[in-house]
Structure 1
Amino acid sequence: MSLDHRLSPEHEELRRTVEEFAHDVVAPKIGDLYERHEFPYEIVREMGRMGLFGLPFPEEYGGMGGDYLALGIALEELARVDSSVAITLEAGVSLGAMPVFRFGTEEQKREWLPRLCSGEILGAFGLTEPDAGSDAGGTKTTAVRDESTGEWVINGSKCFITNSGTDITGLVTVTAVTGRTDAGKPLISSIIVPSGTPGFTVAAPYSKVGWNASDTRELSFSDVRVPFANLLGEEGRGYAQFLRILDEGRIAIAALATGLAQGCVDESVKYAKERHAFGRPIGDNQAVQFKIADMEMRAHMARIGWRDAASRLVLGEPFKKEAALAKLYSSTVAVDNAREATQIHGGYGFMNEYPVARMWRDSKILEIGEGTSEVQRMLVARELGLSG
């Protein structure tokens, strides 16, 4: 594969377009929405019109015919300004639509992807449960066949599910135990549950530390019935399917984390030039300069990491280790840069009117969501041939 991570003219045009959108459309509105914990419907509609939700999908399904690198570019530019908007796109594409594209039947793709790609509806991925987070194999949600009606009967609950309760949420792909092996191990399958299905209840939004303009909910399923045809992929292959989805999603989260890290640099450079102390800009002080230089170094290296992983995915090469490394490193530096940006801003960094306060609150979840930092280290160790 090429070691040149410079963008093609098409990718660079996309980057500039999303950068302009983030600064001209997202930045002026998101602060108020964030503080009011309101979902950015107008912004999401505009993102849909721009084709951002269809970036990595073929045109035959309503997509833009791009690739995962294009998705990462868009996520990074959005997260430089705001992570709530970025995670809405990330979850809508990599967790909502991608399972349908990767594992769905042709009928399922034709039914769901055009509306998902246009942003008309959002999809969600119901994996995490109160007792099954990193240990996804501990899934307790069940789906039992009712042969008399040709339906799955689903019971259980999910938690921390992004995009699951908005006014435009169209479906949630739910992982559930559908049987047992001869050794008694659970067979986990993925099943599409359309929003509004009787027995499918969406709780009120969580009160969160960050990502306050994104939608995150707890879901419950009480004798929820959907047709056998809503099975996504092969029965009993749900565990392998979502591992693949999470491998890809880590690249997307790494791009988002890189954007947050770079946004901290952007805001710190701006503030260091404008803020005066002792008769001169604080950016004249070498201590501040060195902090910002280190922040830029971290963001730059994180960018190389996620683009490398994305390039391997696009080329059809193994990328599991590189995705885990990119997610681990970028999430770490996002937290580091957010902390340093807050320090550079001093007391103003603790005020919500400044973007870095939002970035500080948003950064920590990046070390947890879509695989904790500990899980990433475990995956890297396994890829190096270590086990235990």
Structure 2
Amino acid sequence: MSTEQLQFSEYLNSFKDTLKSVFYQRDNIEQFIQKRGFPALVLRDIMAKNPLSVGIPEEYGGRGVKMKECLGMMDAASYESLPLSLTFGINIALFLEPVGKYGSEEAKKSVFNRFLTQQNMGGLMITEPDFGSDALGMQTSCERQGSNYHVKGTKHWQGLTGLADYWLITSRNKTAKGDLARDIDFFVCDVQQPNQQIIVEEYYNNLGLYPIPYGKNKVDVIIPEQYKLQPVSSGLNLMMDLLHRSRYQFPGMGMGFIRRMLDDAIEHCKTRIVSGKPLIKLDQVQHQINKIQSAFTVCSAMCSRSAEYAGVEKNLGADAIEANSMKAYVTDLMQSSAQILTQLKGANGYKAESVSSRGIIDSRPFRIFEGSNDMLYTQISEMVTKLMVRKKELNLSSFLKGFNLTEKVSEQFKGLIDFTIDPKVVQRKSVDLGKILSRIVSANMVVSMAEKGFRNDLITNSIENLKQEVSMLVSSYQFQTNIATIEDYKESSTWLDIV
């Protein structure tokens, strides 16, 4: 192990000790996790370890923005608290990394110094009340006024609403005619400065993720030109680079969470005695635990891939297929792992303070924010289909054999995917195809991780689970149905009238 690795290992272990201290000795996480916000002393002790330093370049006093370390910090946090890990994810992936890559020297010096010395935090404002996933339709505007920009609009569902010291705000330039340009501009807003305060119009009563405040924000600020991010090509490319890198880091948040679900499932089923023998001896119980174990292996493979590939030095604007596959599939795995653990724990799993029921609620929005999973699966399907049409190869097995994200495992899945796709399928079929592709892309990562020496029995079990899942998805994809919603369904549909 290198000195650098040892240093991070020691740093991470010290951070884990701090989490155990604040969550189980100084306070009781099972009690305060059901309340809004982290207790002040708990957050103070956590931030005193400077966990966000992993997202700050070395020349500014940070640990160097090494993707392995960023993922490792989120992993450690999510084992104990998914909201804490998401807080780190928001700060690192959605604020510090883009500021470090695209910000001016003046902005970087100021921001990074306050993060390191004053435990400041930052978030990202994209979503608007009338333009959720349609980011390109945003109405927040910016106008140049001398050496400043006037940024005005309304944003909502920003994690850390009312809590962040900095915001990365997206807007569109207002033209001389009063129209809004197509490209996106990014501004670093410092709420501690005059004319840069963000007005919180409403705090949302969000279900789950209680420690993180969400709400509706009124933006009407004056920001110096030095605090405008400078894209290499366009603001749209900057946004895709930012969002894709964030999606590559979702496995970091998922890693500790899934491992916690797995550890608790094994421990409970080994100690829970039913009809004179441990619960874990039951075949169906082992089948369910194996699903969580497969999720653990897949997520490990994703982390390994992201650590090696998704560093800030790369532009990930064109990596939508892999980024979307990671985000959508790992968040599905997080939700299913929590559901399985809750079922295995029976009545005890339904207690509000249970890590499993809390996990169901806290992991559910991960399948919605930063692009809902159905939308991302549709995009994966559409992008791959375009590549297939361009290559004039519509047999899925044949195409994936030569596709760089699936070439290592295409033969293993050949018997399941040896069929011709229809480029003009209905959207529900696109979602199915996107799911199929995401699982095979993930299997490719698992095989790549196996080549580095990861435990073989976990690899084998995971590939078998992935094959079973793909088999079920292919059946759904090929099942022909014309089912449509019957909007005016109430006539002749009351069961009491026919009995």
Same fold (TM over 0.5): yes
Of 239-248 and 15-24, deviating more is: 15-24
State yes or no: 1:160 paired with 2:157: yes
The answer to which of 76-85 and 250-259 deviates more is 250-259
Distance 1:378 1:233, change over 3 A: farther
Which structure's residues are more often strand, by fraction? 1
Tell me if the contact between 1:158 and 1:220 (Cα under 8 Å) persists in the aligned partners.
yes
- The match for 1:145 is 144
Tell me, what secondary structure is at the counterpart of 1:242? Answer: helix
Residue 135 (structure 1) shift: 1.5
Residue of 279, 294, 298 corresponding to 1:301 = 298
**Relative contact order, higher structure (CA 8 A, sep 6+):** 1
Indicate the SS of the match to 1:192: strand
Match status 1:186 vs 2:185: no
- What SS does structure 2 have at the residue aligned with 1:174? strand
In the alignment, the residues of structure 2 paired with residue 260 and residue 253 of structure 1 have an alpha-carbon distance, to the nearest angstrom, of: 11
**Contact 1:62/1:118 (8 A) holds in 2:** no
Residues 220-247 of structure 1: per-residue CA shift (max 9 Å, x gap): 124x222233322259943322221111
Partner of 2:276: 279
Contact 1:203 1:219 survives alignment (8 Å): yes
Distance 1:60 1:211, change over 3 A: same
Alpha-carbon displacement from aligned partner over 1:62-102 (angstroms, at most 9, x marks no partner): 21125011111111121122111111111111112222111
Pick which of 282-291 and 38-47 moved more. Answer: 38-47
What's the counterpart of residue 364 of structure 2?
Answer: 364
Cross-structure match for 2:134: 135
**1:304-349, CA deviations, whole angstroms, 9 ceiling, x for partnerless residues?**
0232023112395676233322212211111111110110011111
Cα deviation for residue 184 of structure 1 reads: 7.2
Q: Does 2:109 align with 1:113? A: no
User: C-alpha separation between the residues in 1 aligned to 2:150 and 2:65?
Assistant: 37
Cα distance 1:42–1:246, how it changes in 2: closer, same or farther (>3 A)?
A: farther
What is the TM-score with the length of structure 2 in the denominator?
Answer: 0.69
Letter in 2 for 1:226: I
| Residues in 1 aligned to 2:297 and 2:18: alpha-carbon distance in whole angstroms | 22
Equivalent residue, structure 2, for 1:219: 217
Q: Could you say what the CA RMSD is over the residues aligned between the two structures, in angstroms?
A: 2.8
Between 1:18-27 and 1:64-73, the stretch displaced more is 18-27
Rg larger in structure: 2
Q: What code does the residue aligned with 1:295 have?
A: I
Change in 2 beyond 3 A, CA 1:307/1:216: farther
Q: Secondary structure at the match of 1:130?
A: coil
Change (3 A) 1:381 1:309: farther
Change (3 A) 1:185 1:103: same
Range that drifts further, 190-199 or 367-376: 190-199
1:182-209: CA deviation from partner (whole Å, max 9, x where unpaired): 9975232111222155463024432112
1:172 and 1:194 in contact (8 A); partners too? yes
**2:38 alignment partner, SS class:** coil
In 1: Cα distance, 2:152 partner to 2:314 partner: 38
Residue 4 of structure 1 aligns with which residue? Answer: none
Shift of 1:146: 2.4
- Say yes or no: does 1:210 pair with 2:205: no
Q: 1:283-318, CA deviations, whole angstroms, 9 ceiling, x for partnerless residues?
A: 232322221122111111122023202311239567
Q: After the TM superposition, which of the residue ranges 131-140 and 236-245 deviates more from structure 2? A: 236-245
Q: How many residues are aligned here? A: 377
1:85 aligns with 2:84: yes
2:246 — aligned with what? 249
Paired residue secondary structure (2:309): helix
Unpaired segments ≥5 residues, structure 1: 1-6
State whether residues 56 and 96 of structure 2, in contact with CA within 8 Å, keep that contact through their aligned partners in structure 1: no
Write the distance in 1 (CA, Å) between the matches of 2:231 and 2:135.
Answer: 18
Tell me, in whole angstroms, the C-alpha distance in 2 between the residues paired with 1:133 and 1:246: 15
Alignment of 1:35-114 (within 5 A): 35-114=34-113
1:24-35 equivalence runs, <5 A:
24-26=21-23, 29-35=28-34
Corresponding residue of 2:123: 124
Letter of the structure 2 residue corresponding to residue 176 of structure 1: S
Aligned residue for 2:62, secondary structure, equals coil
Contact 2:129 2:155 in 1 (8 A): yes
Q: d(CA) in 1 for partners of 2:345 and 2:15?
A: 27
**Deviations along 1:260-291, whole A, 9 cap, x unmatched?**
22211112122223333333332232322221
Contact 1:338–1:359 (Cα < 8 Å) also in 2: yes
What residue number does 2:170 align with? 175
Determine the C-alpha separation between the residues in 2 that align with 1:121 and 1:380. Answer: 36
- Tell me how far apart the structure 1 counterparts of residues 382 and 307 of structure 2 sit (CA, whole Å): 20
Correspondent of 2:285 among 285, 288, 292: 288
1-structure distance, mates of 2:294, 2:258: 10
For 1:39 and 1:10, locate their aligned partners in 2 and report how far apart those are by CA, in whole Å: 29
Question: What is the distance in 2 between the residues matched to 1:252 and 1:171?
Answer: 21
TM-score scaled to structure 1, two decimals?
A: 0.87
Distance 1:185 1:96 in 2: 24
